[in-house]
Structure 1
Amino acid sequence: MKKLFYILFLLVLVPKSGFAQGSKIDQLLFSTLIESKAYIDKGKVADYIPELSKANKNLVGVALVDSLGNLHTKGDTKSKFTMQSISKVIALMLAVEERGEKYVFERMGYYGTDKPFNSFEALEYRHKPLNPMMNAGAIVTTALIKGKDDEAYKKILERVRYITKNEDININEAVYQSEKETGNRNRGMFYLLKNFGLFDAENEESLNNYFRQCSIEVNAEDLAKIGYFFAHNGTRFDGDKTFYNPEISKLIKSIMLTAGMYDYSGEYSSKIGIPSKSGVGGGIMASVPGKIGIGTFNPSLDEQGNSVPGLYIMEKLSKELNLSIF
């Protein structure tokens, strides 16, 4: 009987946040969001893809899915933006599921790098990309997903919809066309990688699938749910375990830790210590193993392509909640 009363006491007095004093988490998110706005003018919106330059740099949002699967949000968490490089983790998951880790990583490395995400360096003498988070590696990864025409893209889209439990997620057609029209550097990589025999492709459709996956539109809440999914080894925020896979989740988190934040990854790991993936659309998706998922959004980027307010938010939350894995 005493045990029953204790359980009832916990249910009534402990918030359903996954943290003791859950309201303090919401207060922390709010104060961190306000502070992050001071960093908006320290970066600039991406303009190398014309459609991305139209983003509103004043939008800032932070979402957190706690260890119980509950969602906490502050700011512009429903504002949509394209996944860009964050989609690479979903493509990698699918490629490894279908081909196996050995097959995939015979065609790319596990290495971190101090080179930009769109660098050709190492391709000429290694004849394969350094890691799956650089554009060259991601182009290979997407090409390895089985299926004709746009089937690989559709698999990526459906997996994103599943993880987030959001069937409204779709492609931003204008961004896709803009990516395709201005993607000559990626196109050059595609043909170089094809020449090395890293994948079979009769035409540019697998490259178009890469452009499509980057153009999938999400919001900060969706990113937090993706972060939770990998934090809990493939368990969705509502407890669904359809794609539960500790080994692939561990692989994804390790790759994010070493290469997920472009050429800032090493410093990010030291300062913040959370497996994370950023995108030039302004999003950051973070996965704290066994604990929580975080999603941030603001399109004002630093020289590496990471959201400046987003980096502030991640550093503040990591310190205040002791989230670093180190």
Structure 2
Amino acid sequence: MALLVQEYLDRIRAEHADAADGALADYIPELARVDPAGFGVSLSSSDGFVYESGDAGVEFTIQSISKAFTYALALDRIGEVAVDARIGVEPSGEAFNEISVDETTRMPKNPMINAGAIAAVSLIPAGSADERFALIHDFYSACAGRRLDLDVDVYESEKATGSRNRAIAYMLQSFGVLDDDPDEVLDVYYRQCSLRVTTTDLARMAATLARGGSNPMTGRRVTTSAVVKRTLSVMVTCGMYDAAGDWVSAVGMPAKSGVGGGIVAVLPGQLGIGVYSPLLDDKGNSVRGVRLCRSLSEQLGLHFLAVSRESRAAMRAVYEPLEGVRVYETHGDLSFCGAEQVVRTVDREMRGFDVVILDVSRVDDIDDAARGLLSGMSKILRAQGKTGYVVDPGGIMTDTEAESDGVRFRTVDDAVAAASSR
């Protein structure tokens, strides 16, 4: 039944596949050589299950998405107080590569612009540039669940054309923000931006943040929930540069973009999303990536301000009142994420029953995406020779296939009686 979610993902990606506006990041020569048609998306559930669509296996450089993770690493290694003494958390309202600091504090305004990201690199405690990069590389890889590779060509291209970043670094040194040699700090910064990822890597990195710092694939705790909380907070307000306001109101997920064409987005407690399309808008964000994320949020109900009760949603109990009859009892507010958990659980356990009873009598609310998934589950059960009943006394699933088939019951006992008489 994972095909149900896959169909959603493929359809939403297809809606934006023909968009051709935007431009490659040609100020970095190597980035101007990538295929402008590349377009992929991956979605990781909080338990590590990944859906992929399009060019999900294509590698590209992480670029500014790295800023969120180096900031998290700095918080993890030296603590919030020490990081706050060098980097602010306010939106800048400026271009990501602006040569500027806060007029009062003389510090970078936030860690998601180049000035703040360069400062964050300098805060990773290490005895040398190589040791500092190794710590960053290890941290990113732990979040992704695999060892990431360095794109040497992109690294050398960025280093050769990084005059603006050198100006920023030396400015920071003059204000006492950088204690180390600016060129050594920049070398690490260029290397971290040049690590290669796929959309699936980004989705898993996002899922690690969604789970409070624990990688759902490996089970490894990479950082603390306190670090994740601060990192996601800054991503909400600053992660999409000076388009952050539009992003939060329309998409509603903590996110970070990169000029390599990637976007990472996090729905806390539930999902991690990775998107790739290298054609950028004038703010440096992926054109198709932003549009796709907006459609995902709208059609699947992923805005983080719309799921405040999700923690008590989805599965409440699973039990067998009769041999071959299994009841899946749900509760709370059933959105896309909760329904995805239900249909994937039913799919995994399908060999163990002949009749499935879905009890939604304790569900307070259900959105259209969840209805669509459960309708699809009913069709797949029939195709597999199984029978599906719904206990829905309030009629909240009136648009589902199960309702039109006349298999809705008021109580579980009524559904069990019907199953026993088959």
Which shows bigger deviation, 267-276 or 156-165?
156-165
Structure showing the higher helix proportion among its residues:
1
Matching residue within 255, 259, 263 for 2:238: 259
Which of 48, 57, 70 is the equivalent residue of 1:91?
70
Which residue is 2:297 aligned to?
318
> What's the counterpart of residue 181 of structure 2?
202
In the TM superposition, residue 160 of structure 1 has moved relative to its aligned partner by 1.6
1:299 corresponds to 2:278:
yes
The corresponding residue for 1:153 is 133
Query: Per the alignment, do residues 259 and 203 of structure 1 end up closer, same or farther by CA in structure 2, a change over 3 Å counting?
Result: closer
**C-alpha distance in structure 1 between counterparts of 2:90 and 2:191, whole Å:** 26
CA distance in 2, matches of 1:110, 1:68: 31
Match of 1:249 in 2: 228
Map Cα deviations across residues 83-135 of structure 1 (whole Å, 9 max, x no partner): 00011111111111111111111112110122110012345554111100000
Aligned counterparts, 1:107-118, within 5 A = 107-118=86-97
Partner of 2:333: none
Does the CA-based 8 Å contact 2:145-2:218 persist in structure 1? no
Unaligned runs of 5+ in 1: 1-14, 16-21
Paired residue for 1:289?
A: 268
Question: Deviation string for 1:287-313 (max 9, x for gaps)?
Answer: 100000000001010001111110111
The Cα offsets for residues 229-269 of structure 1, whole Å up to 9 and x where unpaired, read as 10110110225142241111111111111000111111100
The answer on 1:105 being equivalent to 2:90 is no
- Residue from 183, 186, 193 that aligns with 1:214: 193
Secondary structure of 1:286's aligned partner: strand
Counterpart code for 1:262? Y
Counterpart position of 1:174: 153
Deviation at 1:201, TM superposition (A): 1.2
Identity of aligned pairs, percent? 38
Q: Is the 8 A contact 1:65 1:237 kept in 2?
A: no
Q: Corresponding residue for 1:165?
A: 145
Return structure 1 stretches of 4+ with deviation > 3 angstroms.
121-126
Q: Which amino acid aligns with 1:191?
A: Y
Give the match's secondary structure for 1:294: strand
Amino acid aligned to 2:294: E
Q: Distance in 2 between matches of 1:110 and 1:125?
A: 14
Code of the aligned partner of 1:134: I
Q: Is the 8 A contact 1:150 1:205 kept in 2?
A: no
Q: Distance in 1 between matches of 2:232 and 2:144?
A: 18
8 Å CA contact 1:274, 1:286 repeated in 2: yes
Question: What is the aligned-residue RMSD (CA, Å)?
Answer: 1.3
Could you tell me the TM-score, scaled by structure 1's length? 0.90
Question: Could you tell me how far apart the structure 1 residues matched to 2:31 and 2:121 are?
Answer: 22
**Distance (Å, rounded) in 2 between the aligned partners of 1:188 and 1:125:** 20
Partner Cα distance (1:206, 1:253) in 2:
24
Answering whether residue 104 of structure 2 is matched by residue 128 of structure 1, we say no
Pick one of 189, 197, 200 that aligns with 2:168: 189
Q: Does 2:10 align with 1:30?
A: yes
Amino acid at match of 1:155: L
State the alpha-carbon separation in 2 of the partners of residues 117 and 128 from structure 1: 15
Aligned length: 304
Provide the rounded CA distance (Å) in 2 between the counterparts of 1:309 and 1:145: 34
Query: Is the 1:85–1:279 Cα contact (8 Å) retained in structure 2?
Result: yes
Q: How far 1:284 sits from its partner (Å)? A: 0.4
* Partner Cα distance (2:182, 2:189) in 1: 13
User: Residue 293 of structure 1: SS of its match in structure 2?
Assistant: strand
Deviations 1:181-211 (CA, angstroms, capped at 9, x unpaired): 1101100110110111112113511111001
Q: Post-superposition shift, 1:162?
A: 1.5
What is the match of residue 72 of structure 1? 51
Which stretch shifts more, 81-90 or 152-161? 152-161
Q: Is the 8 Å Cα contact of residues 112 and 238 (structure 2) preserved in structure 1?
A: yes
Which range is displaced more, 120-129 or 84-93? Answer: 120-129
SS in 1 for 2:43: strand
* Mapped partners of 1:156, 1:201: distance in 2: 17
Bigger Rg, structure 1 or 2? 2
Q: Distance in 1 between matches of 2:153 and 2:88?
A: 33
